[in-house]
Chains A and B, each alone.
Chain A
Amino acid sequence: MNPKTAKIKVFRFNPKKDGSPRLQDYDVPLTEGMSAMDALDYIYQNLDGTLAYYDHAGCSLGICARCNGRINGKPGLFCQTPITADTILEPLSKDKVIKDLVFKRGKDQAE
């Protein structure tokens, strides 16, 4: 039996190379209790190493709030938003994108 998969559409944009942003589709196996962050980890680790999301620091447990973005258009933390079906993942500010889901924040990045 094939595991259930979801189509995860991820915002892709490198302002230094691309003319305009696009949504890229990835098929991600669904597991019970997985988050949007788990889906991004799966994509990066198994499907596409070019994907950028804020991963080099952060807690994945809803404390540091560094993985904030839009899940199906709604602001939230990727790490604490469950994924159960097809989902669109986008950065919080599309006009401040550094690469894909990583975007420039306020002065010296503090909360």
Chain B
Amino acid sequence: VIIQEVKKNPGSKSARRQAMSARKVETDVLVIGGGGAGFRAAIAARDAGAEVTLISKGPLARCGATPMAGADFTLDGLSLSKLGFPGAPDDTFEKAFNDIVTQGYYLNNQKLVEQYLTAAPDRLKELIGWGLNITFSEERAIFTSGIGIMDTLLSRARASGVTLMADTMILDLLTENGQVTGAFGLDVQSGEYIHFKIKAVVMATGGWHKAFWPNTGMRDLSGEGIAMAHRAGADIGNMEFITFCCNVLLEPPMWLGSIATYVISLLAGGTLTNRNGEEFLNEYDPLMVQIGTGMEWNKSFVSYVTMKEVNAGKGGPQGGIFYGRGDVPWDDFEKAATMLIPKWKYKAMDLRPLGEKFKAGESIEVGSAVEYFDGGIRVNQRFETNVAGLYAAGECTLGPFGANRVFSAITEMLVHGEAAGKNAGAWAVKSSGPDPKEATLKFHEDQIETLRNRMSGLRIPEVRRKVQEAAHRALGPIRNPSDLASFVKLLDNVKADELPNLSVSDDSRSYNKEIIDAIELENMMTLLEAAAKSALFRTESRGVHYREDFPDCDNDNWLKETILKRTKDGFAIETEGIQPVHKSLPSGKMPYLDMMKTMMTSRSDIGGHH
């Protein structure tokens, strides 16, 4: 890595523009994203012989979604038993493949499902070898902590000689003739610009939870990776498939968005009621309720029925429903709940008051909030995009899960990360490209400088909140065309009238939150527009995409991915049919819940939560 100071434009016209410096960094592989996918990719690229720099938007090993995860690593039960866990010796690749594809309503990229299942045992084995602590296991999963995974990967990345940059954002990629040449970055703390000369990129920026309010994600997950990859020409797809987690805490403000109650409900059971105290799950098929509350199927099933209640005017003051322990005896409930939340504490979060509420038989308001993105950057089985030198891994990809994810995203990030990093590293060590164009870097700098000097206009946090709340309403578990169309209109208006007039209150370079927020907002708007237009385009209901006006799952016309091709000033929507590899595709139309039940009951006879 070469670092040098370059003074730019010492005599420029505006005083504020003076003394602007850009740091220069040269590396073979730039890994963008400091979660599990990014770290695993960085280690693999380094092992392939490349110089690797990993960009972490926030603190090392403490940003992205991974540290927040419970966390479960899923794989087929036979492989798990071969690794020395009880697992499920009667499980097979075929059974696990069947289950991922039926959980995904057949919209899965079957080659990526194959890659997921094939690579998973090796990724788990190596993590254990690197010292990962495992809490407990079941048929198809081990449970650990996201922080444990991150700490394991961090020490491995350090030992491998990966260069780590914390509190750094990449704002755009530079390409020439369809090939990555560089990246434009910002040191968040100092406000200094960073010019990267690179041969390959692994994009691993995770989801874009921050585009919604409320949400369950870290404050850094604003989707700039998917947006900048798309600006660089990469196809993105299935953006309409957005998983809402059910039973997320909506009160008090200090715990807003925590999935603690979701985890508790999964382990300990309990009861959901509406504002009238009615147990509304009784209205649904008992088998669906059993499967759809006892496994991670609940994310789609319970979120859907929660929104039914809320839309019928039976929700609580925070727009949710109520969760309590119901008939479960307190001792049993507490024992199960504290398996992952020992003594009702999780890190610095003290949930004892919540435990007291449950003990007293009281309920707390919970609801559905955005949690996982099934779509993203389109990749092939080598995790290449259609831009040479640009790879992608983890949640920011259009991954293996189709229309609905039940198997673990922790496994996804690791199997993707390793393969993407290895391939990017191998590509980078034998490739050579031109230098990134100074004029392009200057163009990006000027855009930020223009904003930094706009001291009157609209306040960024207000525009952002308006967009986030509208996104939560329009792109939730139940969608209708008029809300989606109004949302697209709102985005158009904000883009035309408000984004150009965003202003900052302070022209300081040091930790200028408003500048960061403005950059994030523009990226979030790009992805929201992609999701809303894709949701309007997909005239059927499948997985986590339910349309009130098209309530059937249409296997005759919609077993295809929604692909967005970059154009000069936006995108064009195309489709790509699903190619069966190990499992043939169904035909015909079926009402949404019937299809869900069919998919649930297609599950093989292996126990556990996946």
Residues of A within 8 A of B (CB): 14, 16-17, 31-35, 37-38, 44-46, 48-53, 55-66, 77, 79-80, 82, 98-100, 102, 104-105, 108-111
Residue from the list A14, A31, A55, A64 in contact with B510, Cβ < 8 A: A14
> Nearest chain A CB to B65's CB is how many angstroms away?
9
Considering the complex, give the chain A residue whose CB is closest to the CB of B508.
Answer: A14
Considering the complex, give the chain B residue whose CB is closest to the CB of A68.
Answer: B348
Residue from the list B220, B348, B460, B510 in contact with A80, Cβ < 8 A: B348
Chain A residue numbers with a CB within 8 Å of B59 are: 57-58, 64, 66, 105, 109-111
Task: Identify 24 residue pairs between A and B in the complex whose beta-carbon atoms are under 8 Å apart, listed by A's number.
Answer: A17-B508, A31-B253, A33-B251, A33-B254, A34-B253, A38-B254, A44-B513, A45-B462, A50-B506, A52-B512, A57-B58, A59-B67, A61-B257, A61-B349, A64-B59, A64-B62, A77-B348, A80-B254, A80-B349, A98-B511, A102-B510, A108-B166, A109-B60, A110-B59
Task: State the majority secondary structure of interface residues on A.
Answer: loop
Roughly how many angstroms separate A48 CA and B524 CA in the complex, as a whole number? 23
Roughly how many angstroms separate A98 CA and B465 CA in the complex, as a whole number? 27
Residue from the list A44, A55, A98, A104 in contact with B219, Cβ < 8 A: A55
With A56-B513, A65-B348 in contact, is A109–B253 under 8 Å at CB? no
Query: Residue among A31, A38, A45, A46 with the most chain B CB within 10 A?
Result: A45
The 8 nearest A-B residue pairs measured at CB: A33-B252, A57-B58, A62-B348, A49-B505, A57-B220, A62-B349, A50-B506, A109-B166
B516 sits at the interface (CB 8 A): yes
Roughly how many angstroms separate A105 CA and B560 CA in the complex, as a whole number? 48
Considering the complex, give the chain B residue whose CB is closest to the CB of A35.
Answer: B254
Chain B residue numbers with a CB within 8 Å of A102 are: 189, 510-511
The number of residues on chain B lying at the interface, defined by a beta carbon within 8 Å of a beta carbon of chain A, is 50
> Nearest chain A CB to B93's CB is how many angstroms away?
35
Roughly how many angstroms separate A44 CA and B218 CA in the complex, as a whole number? 18
Chain B residue numbers with a CB within 8 Å of A17 are: 508
Chain B residue numbers with a CB within 8 Å of A111 are: 59-62
Considering the complex, give the chain A residue whose CB is closest to the CB of B58.
Answer: A57
B164 sits at the interface (CB 8 A): yes
With A57-B220, A63-B346 in contact, is A50–B62 under 8 Å at CB? no
Chain B residue numbers with a CB within 8 Å of A34 are: 252-254
> Nearest chain A CB to B221's CB is how many angstroms away?
9
Roughly how many angstroms separate A102 CA and B58 CA in the complex, as a whole number? 13
In the complex the two chains form, is A58's CB within 8 Å of B510's CB?
no
Considering the complex, give the chain A residue whose CB is closest to the CB of B216.
Answer: A61
Roughly how many angstroms separate A104 CA and B59 CA in the complex, as a whole number? 12
Chain A residue numbers with a CB within 8 Å of B307 are: none
Roughly how many angstroms separate A31 CA and B252 CA in the complex, as a whole number? 9
In the complex the two chains form, is B346's CB within 8 Å of A33's CB?
no
> Nearest chain B CB to A98's CB is how many angstroms away?
5
6 further A-B pairs in the complex, CB-CB below 8 A; given A58-B220, A64-B218, A111-B61: A45-B461, A48-B505, A58-B62, A66-B58, A98-B511, A102-B189
In the complex the two chains form, is A52's CB within 8 Å of B513's CB?
yes
> Nearest chain B CB to A97's CB is how many angstroms away?
9
Roughly how many angstroms separate A15 CA and B266 CA in the complex, as a whole number? 49
Considering the complex, give the chain B residue whose CB is closest to the CB of A38.
Answer: B253
Roughly how many angstroms separate A38 CA and B349 CA in the complex, as a whole number? 15
In the complex the two chains form, is A110's CB within 8 Å of B349's CB?
no
Task: State the majority secondary structure of interface residues on B.
Answer: loop
Contacts between chains A and B (CB distance < 8 A), count: 149
Residue from the list B219, B253, B511 in contact with A35, Cβ < 8 A: B253
With A45-B465, A57-B220 in contact, is A63–B514 under 8 Å at CB? no
B504 sits at the interface (CB 8 A): yes
B347 sits at the interface (CB 8 A): yes
In the complex, per-residue mask of B43-84: 1 if CB is within 8 Å of any chain A CB, else 0: 000000000000001111111000110000000000000000
In the complex the two chains form, is B154's CB within 8 Å of A49's CB?
no
B498 sits at the interface (CB 8 A): no
Residue from the list A33, A51, A104 in contact with B189, Cβ < 8 A: A104
Query: Residue among B257, B350, B508 with the most chain A CB within 10 A?
Result: B508
Residue from the list A46, A49, A108 in contact with B60, Cβ < 8 A: A108
Considering the complex, give the chain B residue whose CB is closest to the CB of A34.
Answer: B253
With A55-B513, A110-B59 in contact, is A49–B459 under 8 Å at CB? yes
B188 sits at the interface (CB 8 A): yes
Chain A residue numbers with a CB within 8 Å of B60 are: 108-111
Chain A residue numbers with a CB within 8 Å of B164 are: 108, 110
Chain A residue numbers with a CB within 8 Å of B247 are: none
Chain B residue numbers with a CB within 8 Å of A14 are: 508, 510
B258 sits at the interface (CB 8 A): yes
Considering the complex, give the chain A residue whose CB is closest to the CB of B353.
Answer: A33
In the complex the two chains form, is B189's CB within 8 Å of A63's CB?
no
In the complex the two chains form, is A63's CB within 8 Å of B67's CB?
yes
In the complex the two chains form, is B510's CB within 8 Å of A49's CB?
no
Query: Residue among A38, A48, A64 with the most chain B CB within 10 A?
Result: A64
Chain A residue numbers with a CB within 8 Å of B58 are: 56-58, 64, 66
Roughly how many angstroms separate A48 CA and B462 CA in the complex, as a whole number? 12
With A80-B254, A98-B510 in contact, is A110–B348 under 8 Å at CB? no
In the complex the two chains form, is A61's CB within 8 Å of B68's CB?
yes
Roughly how many angstroms separate A37 CA and B392 CA in the complex, as a whole number? 33
Chain B residue numbers with a CB within 8 Å of A52 are: 510-513
Roughly how many angstroms separate A31 CA and B318 CA in the complex, as a whole number? 14
B255 sits at the interface (CB 8 A): yes
Considering the complex, give the chain A residue whose CB is closest to the CB of B163.
Answer: A108
Considering the complex, give the chain B residue whose CB is closest to the CB of A31.
Answer: B253
In the complex the two chains form, is A59's CB within 8 Å of B218's CB?
yes
B147 sits at the interface (CB 8 A): yes
Chain B residue numbers with a CB within 8 Å of A98 are: 189-190, 510-511
Considering the complex, give the chain A residue whose CB is closest to the CB of B158.
Answer: A110
